[in-house]
Amino acid sequence: MVQVRAAAAQVISRILRQQGSLSSVLPVWQSQVREADRALLQELCFGCMRWYPQLQRLSGLLLEKPMRAKDSDVHALLLLGIYQLMHTRIPDHAAIGETVEAARSFKKPWATGLINGVLRRFQREREDLETRLANDHHYQSNHPEWLLSAFQRAWPQQLASILQVNDQHPPFTLRVNRQHIDRDHYLHHLTLQEIAAVVTPFSDDGIRLERPVDPRTLPGFAAGDISVQDEAAQLAAGLLQLQPGLRVLDACAAPGGKTGHIFEQQPDIGEVTALDSDERRLQRVTENLQRLGVEATLKCGDASQPDSWWDGQLFDRILLDAPCSATGIIRRHPDIKALRTADDIARLAALQGKILDALWPLLADDGVLVYATCSIMPDENTRVVEAFLQRQPDVVCDRLDVAWGLEQPCGRQLLPQSEGHDGFYYARLRKPAKTA
- Residue at 181: amino acid letter: I
Q: State the Rg of the chain over Cα.
A: 23
Q: How far apart are CA 141 and CA 159, in angstroms?
A: 10
**Cα gap 320→143, rounded to integer Å:** 29
Q: How does 324-337 read in b/e, with b if 16+ C-beta sit within 10 Å?
A: bbbbbbbbbbbbbb
CA distance 314 to 364: 5
Verify whether residue 324 is a known catalytic residue: no
Distances (CA, A) of 332 to 151, 258, 329, 376, 424: 18, 18, 5, 14, 13
State how beta strands 206-209 and 297-300 pair. unpaired
User: What is 107-172 written as a DSSP string?
Assistant: T-HHHHHHHHHHHHHHHHHHHHHHHHTTT-HHHHHTS-HHHHHHHHHH-TTTHHHHHHHHTSPPPE
Q: Which of 48, 374, 397, 410 is catalytic?
A: 374
Dmax (CA) of the chain: 82
- The CA distance from 16 to 279, in Å, is 26
Q: What DSSP character marks residue 243? A: -
Residue 178 is given by DSSP the state T
**CB-based burial label for 256 (10 Å; 0-12, 13-18, 19+):** buried
**Are β-strands 396-397 and 172-176 bridged in parallel, bridged antiparallel, or unpaired?**
unpaired
Residues carrying an active site annotation: 374
